[in-house]
Structure 1
Amino acid sequence: MSEASVLAQENFSSIRTLKAYSQEDLQIDRYNMLLEKVFQLSKSGSFWLSDFIASIYFLENLVLVVVLYIGATEVMKGVITTGDLTSFLFYTLYVAVSFTSLSTLWGDLMKSLGSSERVFELLDKSLINETSHKTLEHIKGNIQFQNVLFSYPTRPTLTVLNNLSISIESSNCIALVGHSGCGKSTIASLLLKFYEPTSGTILLDGMDISQLDSKWLRDNIGIVQQDIVLFSGSIFENILYGHPQATKEQVIEAAKTARAHEFITSFTKGYDTEVGEKGVQLSGGQKQRIGIARAILKNPPVLILDEATSALDVENETQVQEAIQNLAKKTTLILIAHRLSTIKFANKIALIQNG
């Protein structure tokens, strides 16, 4: 049933793509196939459980008949009294009813085992244990990747990064370029400790990030991705997510810097406008500018922009890039992009090819 639920959720969240390709019938057929599979398994389980319960009831009644026959024979012989037989029958009936209840519980137990199996799969997964909770008193923003080798856990035979070595100086801007799937975004994920390198070292101001506290590290690194994630709530709340203690004036200033203030104030409710689930009420460009405003408000020593302006038009992209250039003067900036216009002001350009 979980597969059918996942498919239904996927279809609802991708309804526009589904309709654009006129694949409603295909997805309905896939959903019906999964439901049919669930139905057949449920029917098979019901038949088995029915046979099991019927057998229990049959044995229960058979035991009562046997006890009654033997007891009646013993009463006729004078071995026991009628009262003794009646008491014994009641005891037998009490035990039999208990076994009948156990047969019903058996079906519930089987269902629970099926559900618990999925829970135990999650519990058995190994976690990355924090061996150190070190922090740096002050971050300059010098970053080094030294002979980093990495493969994703789900694809251990596919090497994404092969002895990668990159040096990024403090308050400089580096652009990472390369074809799709070459590992540009993986570099960002490794820097944020979403994954650990297979081998090699990643240094922040000379300190191996594996020795740094993960939460502290992420507090000091900002990231704006191509697919901006917005939470249900207002525009103000989504920008404030970057720095919950910020004032309203700081939020508005960050929005102005990201060139988001103009379109926000064009809404009837302004900054109190609800963005909807995952920002469904906003366009891709609007979501990206809110994401950039959120990162600007956070004001981290290190900022990663992963295709952060891909959904902006030329005019807005130019304006946002001016703001990014100003940020680069006091922030170590990592740009991941395809457009030449996005990376032209970088101090260094690194081509990622074959890891």
Structure 2
Amino acid sequence: MRAYADNDYPADHKPDWKIISGLWPFLAEFRGRVILSLALLVLAKLATVATPIALKYIVDYLDQNRGADMLLWIPVILVVAYGSLRFGATLFNELRDAVFARVAERAMRRVSLRVFEHLHQRELAFHLDRKTGGLARDIERGTNGISFLLRFTLFNIVPTLLEILLVAGILFVVFNVSYVLAILVAVVVYVVFSIKITEWRTKFVREANARDNQSNSRAIDSLLNYETVKYFNNERYEAEVYDRDLDDWEQARLKNRLSLAALNSGQALIIGLAMIVIMAMAVREVASGEITLGDFTMINAYLLQLFIPLNALGFVYREIRQALVNVERLFKLLGDKPAIEDAPEATKLAVDKGEVQFDHIHFAYRPDRPILRDVSFSIPAGHTVAVVGASGAGKSTLARLLFRFYEVDQGAIRIDGQDIRTVTQDSLRSAIGVVPQDTVLFNDTLYRNLAYGRPEATEEEVYRAARMAHLEDFIHSLPEGYETKVGERGLKLSGGEKQRVAIARVILKNPPLLILDEATSSLDSLSEQAILGALNEVSQQRTTLVIAHRLSTIRDANTILVMDGGRIVESGSHGKLLAAGGHYAQLWAQQHNRDETGHDDQERTND
């Protein structure tokens, strides 16, 4: 499946407005709140539209009774009505926002959870290809975009259109059609201009986002590889590369700012010309006595009321366009199905004995580079089978296929006769414990990292797992003990300490099947012997697949498989394979010679 990229859409891509219909499920969950919010919205707009009418009567009463005795209670009532309408408009808007807040926040929560769960369901290949920084930004912008669309589509576009219709109706009834035509022409010109210019400048907004993703991904990638940067004295190089990305972002943002200035200036010009024309019409009619001074004041108030939200409408349309793009990316991410899914009739894996069988397995990460070629072997229940061979022989791939990170191209893998493609991934992985060759820890305490093997485990069970992994002395030597923070990706611990945490996790998980992928590769000889004893104890009653480079660690395996070029070329016990004088004997002799000359025999691989 194609990996998720930061530049899936070209700069001139037009968002799909149908996406708005996909927001209905978020509204349907709180249908009552949505209806109440819309009712409050209508009340707020009615109060807003009635405010200039109250102002008109105040001005007319004062103008017509200037210099004469007037009843003070009449203008006082009108002023109170005017103030009450203004307060009512604000109050109803605030109540509307308060009622609708739960809808928008719950929508963000729901979609954030869906994305989180979906990403954990995606296949390993997706996560190997992803750019974490850019993906995080897209998720953040997408969830914020959903909230924006829900709020502004309902509470800006709809009320602005409602207000335009109400104002046009009042001007048509109270005055004449010329005012209505002038306002409608101004609105149409304004909207067409805003849409056209926004369409033109959207590519600059999207380019700025793409450059933002690029620079953010680069920064995170560099910081995650902090030690590598230091090893090669490449701080200046990293800064230069990051600055080049920031320069691209700066240029994109500059284009975005300049195009925004052009949009705002054009909108202001249209509004200014409309105000001049309509107010000139009103001045002429006041001078001729066709309308009163209060009418003039009302027209002016309506224009201000109308063009202020209309001016915001340009901003809202622009932001809605961008929110649509962000939500489209998020929905596309959610729409990409995982490459590995449970079969429709998948059942839970039932582990009785724990026998594992690889039956004529063919596999390739890429069609032009086969990794496994017709591999067949069995691991009897409770037995340990070790797989050795040169780097690239396909050893670690066997573990990935058994854990179902990838699907086999041909053949089948069975556990107690059950094809692993016919059982649920959850039940399969619950039955397998893995000690990987590269252990990555969460940026949390040692205790929480240990307990991750079985989060519901008791403290005593966690402590026992730590003792069996020979971690207890190390933990007690730390000032904060089990509450010691391990740092991002466990950088505060040595390779051997992280490996022992991984072993303790598996001991705590207590699965019937084990995969040991270079489980002692980061340990010194003394620690290795101690942990081998613990692993042997743990694996005695479990079916175990051991991936190894260091042959001294697998001498006691029931069966040793030797792989070369994606095939099994030898199999047998340690003694039998040495006596055969084949590939295994050569590997043993090479490692034995390196040990004698003082070379480190800890090799690591990524088959």
Q: Does TM, normalized by the shorter one, top 0.5? A: yes
Structure 1 residues 136, 45: CA separation in 2 closer, same or farther (over 3 Å shift)?
Answer: closer
What amino acid is aligned across from residue 302 of structure 1 in structure 2? L
- What is the SS of the residue equivalent to 1:33? helix
1:207 Cα deviation after fit: 0.5
Report 1:16-35 matches (<5 A). Answer: 16-35=227-246
User: Contact between 2:414 and 2:420, CA under 8 Å: does it hold in 1?
Assistant: yes
1:247 Cα deviation after fit: 4.2
User: Contact between 1:132 and 1:211, CA under 8 Å: does it hold in 2?
Assistant: yes
Work out whether 1:149 is the aligned partner of 2:362.
yes
1:282 to 488, 493, 496: 493
1:112 to 298, 301, 323: 323
| Residue matched to 1:352 | 563
2:431 to 199, 212, 220: 220
Structure 1 residues 113, 255: CA separation in 2 closer, same or farther (over 3 Å shift)?
Answer: same
Structure 1 residues 88, 306: CA separation in 2 closer, same or farther (over 3 Å shift)?
Answer: same
User: Contact between 1:175 and 1:348, CA under 8 Å: does it hold in 2?
Assistant: yes
1:31 Cα deviation after fit: 1.0
Q: What is the alpha-carbon root mean square deviation over aligned residues? A: 2.7
- What is the SS of the residue equivalent to 1:193? coil
| Residue matched to 2:441 | 230
Work out whether 1:294 is the aligned partner of 2:502.
no
| Residue matched to 1:333 | 544
Q: Percent identity?
A: 38
Partner Cα separation in structure 1 for residue 431 and residue 408 of structure 2? 20
1:258 Cα deviation after fit: 2.3
Partner Cα separation in structure 1 for residue 368 and residue 519 of structure 2? 30
Partner Cα separation in structure 2 for residue 182 and residue 134 of structure 1? 33
- What is the SS of the residue equivalent to 2:564? coil
User: Contact between 1:56 and 1:99, CA under 8 Å: does it hold in 2?
Assistant: no
User: Contact between 1:140 and 1:170, CA under 8 Å: does it hold in 2?
Assistant: yes
2:453 to 231, 235, 242: 242
1:320 to 514, 531, 549: 531
Work out whether 1:65 is the aligned partner of 2:280.
no
Report 1:39-50 matches (<5 A). Answer: 39-50=250-261
1:175 Cα deviation after fit: 1.5
In the alignment, structure 2 segments of 5+ residues that lack a partner are 1-211, 567-607
Question: C-alpha deviations, 1:110-136, integer Å up to 9, x for none?
Answer: 442453344234212113443245224
Partner Cα separation in structure 2 for residue 170 and residue 221 of structure 1? 14
1:159 to 370, 393, 403: 370
Structure 1 residues 240, 88: CA separation in 2 closer, same or farther (over 3 Å shift)?
Answer: closer
Structure 1 residues 91, 239: CA separation in 2 closer, same or farther (over 3 Å shift)?
Answer: closer
Report which of the two has the higher share of helix: 2
Work out whether 1:170 is the aligned partner of 2:400.
no
| Residue matched to 2:311 | 100
1:225 Cα deviation after fit: 0.6
- What is the SS of the residue equivalent to 1:99? helix
What amino acid is aligned across from residue 194 of structure 1 in structure 2? F
1:197 to 392, 403, 408: 408
Structure 1 residues 89, 266: CA separation in 2 closer, same or farther (over 3 Å shift)?
Answer: closer
In the alignment, structure 1 segments of 5+ residues that lack a partner are none
Structure 1 residues 66, 219: CA separation in 2 closer, same or farther (over 3 Å shift)?
Answer: same
| Residue matched to 2:53 | none
Partner Cα separation in structure 2 for residue 63 and residue 50 of structure 1? 20
Report 1:83-98 matches (<5 A). Answer: 87-88=298-299, 90-98=301-309
1:8 to 208, 215, 219: 219
User: Contact between 1:143 and 1:167, CA under 8 Å: does it hold in 2?
Assistant: yes
Greater shift, 314-323 or 244-253, is seen at: 244-253
User: Contact between 1:321 and 1:342, CA under 8 Å: does it hold in 2?
Assistant: yes
What amino acid is aligned across from residue 381 of structure 2 in structure 1? S
- What is the SS of the residue equivalent to 1:160? strand
Partner Cα separation in structure 2 for residue 91 and residue 321 of structure 1? 83
Partner Cα separation in structure 1 for residue 361 and residue 268 of structure 2? 67
Structure 1 residues 328, 90: CA separation in 2 closer, same or farther (over 3 Å shift)?
Answer: closer
Structure 1 residues 109, 42: CA separation in 2 closer, same or farther (over 3 Å shift)?
Answer: farther
- TM-score of the pair, normalised by structure 2: 0.53
1:345 Cα deviation after fit: 1.9
1:86 Cα deviation after fit: 5.9
User: Contact between 1:49 and 1:107, CA under 8 Å: does it hold in 2?
Assistant: no
1:235 Cα deviation after fit: 2.9
Greater shift, 35-44 or 244-253, is seen at: 244-253
User: Contact between 2:387 and 2:548, CA under 8 Å: does it hold in 1?
Assistant: yes
Structure 1 residues 65, 244: CA separation in 2 closer, same or farther (over 3 Å shift)?
Answer: closer
User: Contact between 2:351 and 2:415, CA under 8 Å: does it hold in 1?
Assistant: no
- What is the SS of the residue equivalent to 1:333? strand
Greater shift, 33-42 or 8-17, is seen at: 8-17
- What is the SS of the residue equivalent to 2:370? coil
Partner Cα separation in structure 2 for residue 46 and residue 247 of structure 1? 57
